[in-house]
Amino acid sequence: MNITDLTAVSLAAAISSGEVTPTDVVTKCLGKIQGDRQLNNFITVCADQALKEAQAAEREIKNGKHTDKKLLGVPVAVKDNICVAGVQTTCASHLLYDYVPDSDAEVVARLKRAGAIIIGKTNMDEFAFGSANEYSAYGCVRNVRDNNRVAGGSSGGSANAVAAGETVLALGTDTGGSVRQPAAFCGVVGLKPTYGAISRQGVIGLCPSMEQVGMLSKTCDDALLLFSVASGQEMRALDGNVRGITIGIAKEFLQAEKSDGVAKVFNNAIEQLKALGVNVVEVSIPSFFAGLSAYHVLSSAEAVNAFKKVVEAHPTTALLGGEVKRRMLTGAVVTDGENYDKLYVKAAKVRTVITAEYLKALSGCDALLCPTTATVATPIGGITDPQQEHMCDSYLAPVSLAGLPAVSVPFGSEFGLPIGIQIIGKRNGEREILNIGKGLMNAVR
Ligand code: GLN
């Protein structure tokens, strides 16, 4: 049995029955991380602490005190903008190189209470701005499927670490696609929960009206398990049965730009779901194409506020990278003078309209389906125009504006690189979309 290939669900069962020890698991993960250092998935590896926690978990198992801990001995990697007590938390920025929080983010505290072992802090785009992990002060993440390609961003280290078997689960954050997009590029499951479903206390965020902590895993069952622990909601297990449900495809999703491979795989996903007994209906989200711009105006404006405090605490911006500065400038411009009405207020109105359109589309069906990204993972250094980079969030950012839950599941490939399909649900519909994801993933096997 290759421990690092196990899912969290099967690993938790194997640990609890004594078949596998937490120390074995942690040792294997640390070995993998060490062996794959060129992938650059981690900014900090918590080797000593993880081994200590593994031994503590073993003692609990010996004493029979473990039965209610859903993640006992299961390794989880945590994006480096989520605080873990006593561990350097950099947001992949030189500005925070020496920041060590003294308490856990609420979500981390919940995982620890469930017995999870924090294996390390993952690489990301600086302050979570970016889609390729090329804006990290700690260097780019290299996609495990092809080391010359990006892993996506901003939670690239988390997605790639799960894909590489360096951890079983990972946490990321998603403001406009940062969990779903790297999940698609790395061939793993990435869940962005409903806005507000998970506490952000202890998360160094930028965009309070959209950002959510999200989950990266190999399967939908694992995403459900991690979501359940992180949110404190009890969830019924998935069965992957989608017969009789209705899925909407917005005609704008069909019109939007995508590579030939993505178009083919998307059609194939629709056909597979029909074959599984799903009713597929056409819907419309007329303002879909305005979503990405509205997202950039609003998220940049919010980020300026968030950054004011960080920058005031370090009276310099010299340590900030180019993309962060660009967003701060954008945020300042779109809220300045006449622009406030022309750009900021307009974007806020677009957001209201888009939200209403998604809700209307969802009123006649159980979920919406579209590609996660328009292309597969791009070559490192291959995209030099920020506009072009932002384009890869076109299917993702509008969902964030609407605050809806969405999951990217791996389905098919192009040039041997994974493609993700995004399933968008109603508010609090995490279980429903994960169940559809499970049905879809089962169909490929
Ligand atoms: N890629 C998007 C951006 O650059 C999303 C970022 C995020 O979700 N944190 O803004």
For 5-49, write each residue's pLDDT tens digit: 899 999 999 998 889 999 999 999 999 999 999 999 999 999 999
Overall average pLDDT of the 314-334 stretch: 89
- Encoding tokens for residue 107? 């979500």
In a domain, 184, yes or no: yes
User: What average pLDDT does the segment 279-291 reach?
Assistant: 97
330 within domain boundaries: no
User: Does the pLDDT of residue 266 top 90, yes or no?
Assistant: yes
The answer to whether 196 and 36 are in contact (CB under 8 A) is: no
Of 71, 55, 60, nearest in space to 23 by CA: 55
Determine the length of the chain: 445
The finding on whether 435 has its CB within 6 A of some atom of ligand 1 is no
Residue 303 in any domain: the answer is: no
* CA–CA dist 343, 356 (Å, integer): 20
For residues 181-194, give the mean pLDDT: 98
> How much is the mean pLDDT over the chain?
95
Distance 125 CA to ligand 1 centre (A): 9
Cβ(175) – ligand 1 distance below 6 Å: yes
* CA 179 to ligand 1: nearest atom: 8
Residue 308 scores a pLDDT above 90: no
249 belongs to a structural domain: no
Q: Is the pLDDT of residue 391 over 90?
A: no
pLDDT of the residue at 389 = 74
Instruction: Give the pLDDT band of residue 138 (cuts 50, 70, 90).
Output: very high
Among 180-184, 208-212, 388-392, name the one with the lowest average pLDDT.
388-392
Instruction: Report whether residue 222 contacts ligand 1, using a CB cutoff of 6 Å.
Output: no
User: Cα separation of 395 and 259, whole Å?
Assistant: 13
What CATH number is attached to the domain comprising 65? 3.90.1300.10
- State the DSSP string of 93-112: -GGGTT---SS--HHHHHHH
Amino acid at 204: I
Q: How many domains does the chain have?
A: 1
Q: What are the residues whose beta carbons fall under 8 Å from the beta carbon of 444, sequence distance 6 or more?
A: 272, 411, 412
Residue 172 CB less than 6 A away from ligand 1: no
Given pLDDT bands bounded at 50, 70 and 90, which one contains residue 66? low
Instruction: Say how far apart CA 435 and CA 214 lie, in whole Å.
Output: 17
Distance in Å from the first CA to the final CA of the chain: 20
The verdict on the CB of residue 129 being under 6 Å from ligand 1 is yes
111: containing domain: 3-231
* Identity of residue 213: V
- Would the pLDDT of 162 be above 70? yes
Question: Do residues 390 and 275 lie in contact, with contact meaning Cβ atoms separated by under 8 Å?
Answer: no
Average pLDDT over residues 144-153: 97
* 415 found inside a domain: no
Catalytic residue among 136, 158, 178, 394: 178
- pLDDT at res. 418: 98
157 part of a folded domain: yes
Residue 444: inside a domain = no
10 labelled catalytic: no
What is the per-residue pLDDT for 392? Answer: 81
pLDDT, position 381:
92
pLDDT-derived band at 395, boundaries 50, 70, 90: very high
Ligand 1 atom nearest the C-alpha of 173 is 9
Confidence of residue 444 (pLDDT cuts 50, 70, 90): confident
Amino acid at 414: E
**Exposure string over 248-267, b if 16+ CB within 10 A, otherwise e:** bbbebbeeeebbebbeebbe
Q: Give me the pLDDT at residue 151, please.
A: 98
CB atoms within 10 A of CB 56: 13
Q: Indicate whether 378 pLDDT > 90.
A: yes
Residue 445: what pLDDT? 58
Within 10 A of 390 (CB to CB), how many other CB atoms are there? Answer: 19
Catalytic residue among 93, 131, 136, 154: 154
Cα of 274 vs centre of ligand 1, distance in Å, is 33
Tell me how far apart the alpha carbons of residues 90 and 280 are, in angstroms, rounded to a whole number.
45
Task: Give a yes or no: residue 94 inside a domain.
Answer: yes
Q: Which pLDDT value is given to residue 64?
A: 82
Question: Has this prediction a pTM greater than 0.85?
Answer: yes
